[in-house]
Every structure is written in structure tokens, then in C-alpha cells.
Amino acid sequence: MGMNFLGLSGGMIALIVVLCVLAVICIVILSLVPIKQWFVALVSGAHVSMGRLIGMRLRRVKVPPIVSAYIQAKKAGIDIDIVDLETHYMAGGDIDKVIVALISAHSAKLPLSVDQAKAIDLAGRDVAKAVKMCVTPIVIETPWISAIAKDGIELKVKAKITLRSNLPRLVRGAGEETILARVGEGIVTTVGSALTHTEVLENPDIISKTVLNKGLDVSTAYEILSIEMADIDVGQNVGAKLNIDRAEADKSIAQAKAEERRAMASAIEQEMKAKTQEMKAMVLAAEAEVPKAMADAIKSGNLGVMDYYKIQNLNSDTAMRNSIAGVDKKKPSGD
């Protein structure tokens, strides 16, 4: 037998090569075949075929969480296929929450199918929390809602709403914000329909009854069980405030109109003064023509010198009488 440079025979080399190939094959099989998960599922009564597990590895799906969730579901008596969990995982869903929700619904005898749970989870809602809300309703509280009765008095109302999840409407139904908005609108409408604010204070349950009768949970993901008025406070007298503001506005308008009339009267007064001065100027101009007319009359012989002196004496006598009577000291108003 020939010897190689290491002193090994050809048969030994072939055996080593075969062992290396077998080792590589074992490593590849162990990397592709999740023996541990397959064995755990087998002994747990949730058998999963080896081909399915190898296919999940080839699709780069994490096998341990899916197998663990599948075992939980089977142990709880839920009829589910591991394919549903794999597809839901690949779609970006949370399989742990789906399994918890299915187990909780199964224990509480709630009608929740696997497809519904997957759809609710993919819709972005917490399906486990939704199932829990079906069993144990939650209470949400509205902020302070301001409403005004017909007598003008403001009431500030805060309500508590008891909600329960509506599983069939969780996918397309509206959320808590819609419930709060609708309840707030109902409170404002009810208080606004009351003749006086004392009616609401004496019977706050009229708000609850009216709001509940409106069916505010339609097209929402919840069912309203009850609405209680947590607190009602009396606010401002909005009616009186509005009347005061209206009176102030009317006063401002009246003052503006009075100022307009005063300005017009002042303008008319100034115009009359201007006309008076104009008339005085015309009188002075006419008086200035009298001496000229007298001079022309004397020249033409229509007026004698003695007549002129008589006129002067008459004017002097008139001036003296006016002086004695104090007529010159009196000035007409407006000069």
C-alpha cells in the first residue's frame, strides 16, 4: 500500500472525507430542521410536520414564537392552524396578542373567530384589550362641557361613560374620541333645550336619558352601557352678559349718531354765520351807495341843500336818541 506525505493510507483519507461530508450534512440539516421545536410540539400534543417547520425556516420566519403560540392555542382547546399564525406573523401582526385574545374569548364564551382576531390586530387595535373590555367594561370621563340653557345661564357638565367593546365593529368602527364628541354634543343639545338651568340641576338624569336614547354608539367600536353625570357646575349668566354687550353696542351707535347730528348742526351754524357776514357786507355796500346817490341828487337838483341838512339833523337826532337809549351798546347775538 502506498503512503502519502502524511503517512496516511488512501482508505484513511477517504474515510475522513466521508466523515467531513456527513458532518456538513448534519450541520445543514440541524440548521434547517428545528428539532427542538418539533419535539416540544410533539410532546405537547400540537404536532407540526417537519416539512412545515423546514418551510418556515426557508421563508425566514421565526419558528419558536409561532410554535409556542400554536401550543398555547391547542392547549386552550382553540381550533387553529399553524398556517394562520405564520401568515399573520408575515403580515406584521402580533401573534401573542391574537392568541391571548382567542383564549380569553374562548374562556368567556365570546363569539370571536380566528379571522376576526387577526383582522382586529391588523387594523391597529389591541385585540387582547378589546376582549378584556368585553368582559370588564371600562369607564371614560368627558372634559368639562359648557352648555347654556334658554334662560341664559351657563352649565358646566362632566360625564362618565361606561363602554364595552363591540367585537364585530372593532375593525371599521370609530374610537373613543367619537364617543366623547357625540356625548358632548348630546349634553349641549339637552341643556340648550331646557327652559331654565334649574330644571337640569333638579333632574340631571334627563341628560343621561336623552343622550342614551340618541344611539350615540352607532358605527363605533363600542357599546355604551350607561352615562352618569359626574359633576354639574353653574357658570356665567351668559344671557345677561349678552344683553349688556348689546346695550353697550346700542349706546355706541347712539353716540355716533348724536356726534354726527352735532357735527351737521355745527356745520349749519357756521354756514349761517357766513351768510350773516355776507348780508352785512351787502348792507354796508348798500349804505356806501347812499352818499353817492345823495350827491348825484344834489347835482341834478332833485335834492336841495336845506333838505340835505335836514336829513343830517335827523340822523344826528336819531343817533343821539339811540345813544341815550343804549341801542349802540347792544350787539346782536352771533357777532
Give residue 10's pLDDT band: very low, low, confident or very high (50, 70, 90): low
| Number of other CB atoms surrounding residue 163 within 10 Å | 20
Q: What is the mean pLDDT of residues 292-299?
A: 78
**170 CB contacts (<8 Å, ≥6 apart)?**
120, 123, 125, 127, 130, 221
| pLDDT of 34 above 70 | no
| pLDDT of 1 above 60 | no
| pLDDT of 41 above 60 | yes
**134 CB contacts (<8 Å, ≥6 apart)?**
105, 108, 110, 164, 165, 167
In the block, cell 379571522 appears at 115
| pLDDT the model gives residue 5 | 44
| pLDDT the model gives residue 8 | 54
List pLDDT tens digits, range 136-151. 888 888 888 888 888 8
Give residue 307's pLDDT band: very low, low, confident or very high (50, 70, 90): confident
Q: Which helix (H) or strand (E) holds 27?
A: helix 10-32
CA 138/CA 136 separation, integer angstroms = 7
C-alpha distances in angstroms, 281 versus 190, 192, 287?
A: 78, 73, 10
Task: Please give the model's pTM, rounded to 2 decimal places.
Answer: 0.55
Q: What is the mean pLDDT of residues 128-135?
A: 83
| pLDDT of 295 above 70 | yes
Residues 280-315: b if buried by 16+ CB within 10 A, e if exposed = eeeeeeeeeeeeeeeeeeeeeeebeeeeeeeeeeee
| pLDDT of 128 above 70 | yes
**252 CB contacts (<8 Å, ≥6 apart)?**
none
| Domains, in order of start, for the chain | 27-135 (no CATH), 141-240 (3.30.479.30)
Give residue 54's pLDDT band: very low, low, confident or very high (50, 70, 90): confident
| pLDDT the model gives residue 220 | 83
| pLDDT the model gives residue 31 | 61
| pLDDT of 26 above 70 | no
List pLDDT tens digits, range 216-226. 777 888 888 88
| pLDDT of 125 above 50 | yes
Q: What is the mean pLDDT of residues 174-197?
A: 85
| pLDDT the model gives residue 333 | 47
Chain mean pLDDT for the chain? 79
| pLDDT the model gives residue 89 | 84
Residues 263-278: b if buried by 16+ CB within 10 A, e if exposed = eeeeeeeeeeeeeeee
| pLDDT of 32 above 80 | no
Estimate the crossing angle of helix 63-75 against helix 82-90, to 10 degrees: 140
| pLDDT of 165 above 60 | yes
Cell of 157: 357638565
Cell of 181: 364628541
Q: Which of 13-22, 75-84, 120-129, 202-211 has the lowest mean pLDDT?
A: 13-22
